[in-house]
Amino acid sequence: MIVVTGGAGFIGSVLLWQLNKEGIDDILVVDHLGKSEKWQNLVQKRYRTYMPRERFVEHLVKDDLGPIEAIVHLGACSSTTESDCDFLWDNNVEYSKAICQYGASHHIRTLIASSAATYGDGSQGFSDDPKSLDRLRPLNMYGYSKHVVDQWLVKSGLIDCVCSLKFFNVYGPNEYHKGSMQSVVVKAYHAIQEKGSLALFSSNTPDVADGMQRRDFVYVKDVAHLLAWLLTNRITGIRNVGTSHARTFLDLGKAVFRAMNKAEHIEFVPMPSHLVHKYQNYTCASMDWLRTEGVPITFRSLEEGVFDYVRHLNQAPYL
């Protein structure tokens, strides 16, 4: 059995889709559905059963889940504006520690989600070398919660048993339920549909022109493909997950207009004050590990990913 926490969420549900494509369906989905629409991400997936996250922790303590081949821990609060630090510590830090300890003690293949938010403003670079961890200064509590887990994995020695994946700007199907944390791609799609135009944040610094903020945008289907490959290839450590190409938000906007076959109309609006000092103007994953570890997976270009995503959005918001 494979356990996927956050299995009804964005990356988790696309991982289910990928695993199902590979003929794998002995999967325990762990999540917190509540009153959300995330249940729709499970409708066309094959899996053994669903379990609320609270019950999963109880079963970990009792150690009565039966044989588990692998755990992919993607469940977390991913809001970069979440202000309840105690909630983030309990939900993102302690929950992750418990899963990693259980996986290590039972010799279970364990993958967990970290984040490029751990890199802060990027002044310390984007190397996933554990030796650089203590230099990083995340800009928000979400990023810090992921950073704390990475530091703990290294200091506890569990990093040799776990693969912690620093996801950069992931976009693609099944993110419709994420509200303000949806990618700019899907926000652009809906804005262009409704108004025929797209508003992007103006720059928060004179060093960067409007629309020239750059991010490493990575397509969720490629992320799911990599996760599925890692399940049977025991690479451990802290690993970036991106394309190693930083693209501008202007590039992204133009790609969405082209994919929608719409005339381009882009304007700039002031960045909200609560983001001005917590905004990453540049991210780019160092991905040398793909070559050194012989990973046979390539990532789509921004244009290729956006085209495929828009094709999905024209039909349904989820796979």
Q: Is the pLDDT of residue 317 over 80?
A: no
pLDDT computed for residue 261 by the predictor: 97
Quick one: average pLDDT of 114-134? 95
Quick one: average pLDDT of 248-267? 98
pLDDT computed for residue 280 by the predictor: 87
pLDDT computed for residue 5 by the predictor: 98
Quick one: average pLDDT of 203-212? 94
Q: How confident is the model at residue 279 (pLDDT cuts 50, 70, 90)?
A: confident
pLDDT computed for residue 93 by the predictor: 96
Residues 19-48 pLDDT 10s: 999 999 999 999 999 998 999 999 999 999
Q: How confident is the model at residue 275 (pLDDT cuts 50, 70, 90)?
A: confident
Predicted model pTM: 0.95
pLDDT computed for residue 189 by the predictor: 98
Quick one: average pLDDT of 217-244? 97
| CATH annotation of 2-171+217-245+283-300 | 3.40.50.720
Query: Could you say which of 97, 178, 187, 262 is catalytic?
Result: 178
Residues 86-110 pLDDT 10s: 999 999 999 999 999 999 999 999 9
Active site residue 142: yes
Query: Could you say which of 142, 144, 171, 309 is catalytic?
Result: 142
Domain ranges of the chain: 2-171+217-245+283-300
Choose between 277 and 45: higher pLDDT. 45
Active site residue 178: yes
Residues 283-296 pLDDT 10s: 999 999 999 999 99
What's the gap between Cα 233 and its chain centre?
A: 20
